[in-house]
Amino acid sequence: MIEKLQKRYALSRQGAKDLIKGCAACVVQNISFMFPVGLLYLLVRDLLHGGVNGGRTVFYIIGCVFCVGLILIATYFQYNATYFATYVESGVRRITLAERLRKIPLSFFGKKDLADLTSTIMADCTFLEQSFSHFIPELAGSILSTLLIALSLLFFDWRMALAALWVMPVSFAIVGFSAKVQERLNQKAMDAKMACADGIQECIETVRDLKANNAENKYLKGLEKKIRAVERRSIINEFGLAAFVVSASLILKLGIATVALTGAVLLMRGTLDILTFFMFLLVVSRLYDPLQGALQNLAAVISTRTNIARMNEILEHPIQQGANRLSNKGYDITFDHVGFAYNTGETVLQDVSFTAKQGEVTALVGPSGGGKTTVSRLAARFWDIQKGKITVGGMDISQIDPEVLLSLYSIVFQDVTLFDNTILENIRIGNKDATDEEVLAAARLANVDEFAEKLPDKWNSNIGENGCELSGGERQRISIARAFLKNAPIILLDEATASLDVENETLIQTALSRLIQNKTVLVIAHRMRTVAGADQIVVLDNGVVAEEGTPAKLLEQNGAYARMVKLQTKSQNWTLG
């Protein structure tokens, strides 16, 4: 049962246990609410049979105190078992999702928008938090307590019990049959919300380009349509839910009428006493209130399926696994007949073979879309290949845990990601255990001190969201400082100087020259002069190795590499006419 609850509601094992406890607490609380009804029944019986004497008065006073105490205790445990436990589970669920995302291959993120994943971790968890604190326990509590009460009613008078209970299966069936309709409505509403969230995020991220092209009004009109679509889908969703719940509630209320009519007929026939009739009227007046809430809770539980499916998509996605120990001998990176395609089915690499040797610089060049960046990502096991083998020092990287494998790599991307923190802490990402002195030493090797010392708070200056307070060259130098601090034996450089001015490019190239000494270096570059001093050049075109060799050798061959050098030389000599 625990495993089924975990699967059905995307819960941890403890969360599933807490859900059972919460349901049990709701059952006890609902039953406690029936004790005053029983006490009132006894009071009426005594009044009809000669009144209440002094001893019975004390009994009823003690009974009232007992009922109040029982309800307070039951409510206290119900509150702890539902609300508090739910908040703990909500935190566990978010952490579990984040941990799972950490181990999922990057190919998964190519199919998902950032707003979608953020919504799953935050909004879906919040919705389920409400479900597990309100909907599910109260639904289970209402159903189970009602079944217990129904059994007791059958012992009193089965005819009156049937008159009171026939509406229950009919009402729940109406809401239950709405499941498929609700799922379709919820999915359409979720799609509209995600489209709106993506539009808002895109608007914020691209506001500079929208302003530059006078495209704000046009874009905002499209965004307004998405917002209106969310509003429209929410109204339709609410109406679709209400149509079933209200209909079921109306059927439920018929139970009071059937109890009254059946009781009246039986009284006239003399087969039912007035006290039993009164007791049934009391019970059904209390019985249907939680059931009406249960109908709404049932509809709400059905609507959680969309949210749970989104969470299970993450929790059930295959993760990258492997050994926690490195077994490499050296740091040569070898691609052996590697083939790779993204989820779209488009083949990016086919039968790629080459070796990036330790202590040498291997440059990947070629036209855009040729597979250069894909090769560097595969070398670090950001994705898993479909064909062939990639080894580091003879060690098959597909058999090594990605986080363990990445301890061998320092990576400098073209697009640097920085955090809203100080310069020191942004560099410390390279080695969280590094001392301030070690961080500063790495920063100076990357020429970060050239601008950091000029800032008001120097190294403790906050650089803003994604380093918005810094220039492109300054941000890139922080990225290189991270690589210095990590001091890994393999360096991956992805267009580290592609978009920089001459002065920054010179400073960064100086820093990179220090960084790559005596390491295995795999560099991606479009500027041929950047790789002129490389030990080996691999030309990738249409997913295959078109040429391979030293720069001098490839120039002699007068092939693809030589053609790219000539074209870039020609473009560098171009001037405005």
DSSP code per residue over 226-282: HHHHHHHHHHHHHHHHHHHHHHHHHHHHHHHHHHHHHHHHHHHHTSS-HHHHHHHHH
353 backbone φψ class: left, alpha, beta (φ>0; ψ -120 to 50): beta
State the residue for tokens 């210095």: 484
pLDDT (0 to 100) of residue 504: 59
pLDDT (0 to 100) of residue 500: 53
pLDDT (0 to 100) of residue 63: 86
CA–CA distance, 416 with 174 (Å, rounded to integer): 55
Cα torsion angle, 414, 419, 425, 428, sign: negative
Burial class (CB in 10 A: 0-12, 13-18, 19+), 572: exposed
CB 471 within 8 A of CB 505: no
pLDDT (0 to 100) of residue 320: 81
pLDDT (0 to 100) of residue 283: 77
- What is the β-pairing status of strands 333-341 and 387-392? antiparallel
For 77-106, what is each residue's pLDDT tens digit? 887 777 777 777 777 888 888 888 888 877
pLDDT (0 to 100) of residue 498: 54
pLDDT (0 to 100) of residue 274: 82
Six token digits for residue 218: 């046009």
Which CATH fold topology does 333-571 show? Rossmann fold (3.40.50)
CB 412 within 8 A of CB 363: no
pLDDT (0 to 100) of residue 164: 83
Question: Which residues in the chain land under pLDDT 50?
Answer: none
CB 554 within 8 A of CB 534: no
pLDDT (0 to 100) of residue 575: 53
Six token digits for residue 556: 């002699």
- Sorted by sequence, the CB contacts under 8 Å of residue 513 that are 6+ apart come out as none
For 230-279, what is each residue's pLDDT tens digit? 888 888 887 877 788 788 888 888 888 888 888 888 888 888 888 778 77
* Residue 365 Cα distances to 343, 471, 525, angstroms: 25, 27, 6
Strand extents, DSSP E, 344-466: 347-356, 361-365, 387-392, 395-396, 409-412
Q: What residue ranges do the domains of the chain occupy? A: 2-315, 333-571
CA–CA distance, 259 with 284 (Å, rounded to integer): 8
Strands in 387-392's sheet, in edge-to-edge order, are 347-356, 333-341, 387-392, 395-396
Q: What spatial distance separates the first Cα and last Cα of the chain, rounded to whole Å?
A: 78
CA 432 to chain centre: 25
pLDDT (0 to 100) of residue 84: 75
pLDDT (0 to 100) of residue 502: 59
* Residue 298 Cα distances to 31, 182, 250, 273, angstroms: 20, 11, 16, 37
Closest CA to 19 of 5, 4, 7, 30: 5
CB-hemisphere CA count at 13 Å for 238?
6
Closest CA to 34 of 295, 282, 297: 282
CB 282 within 8 A of CB 206: no
DSSP bridge partners of 494: 524
pLDDT (0 to 100) of residue 506: 67
* Check whether domain 2-315 has CATH 1.20.1560.10, yes or no: yes
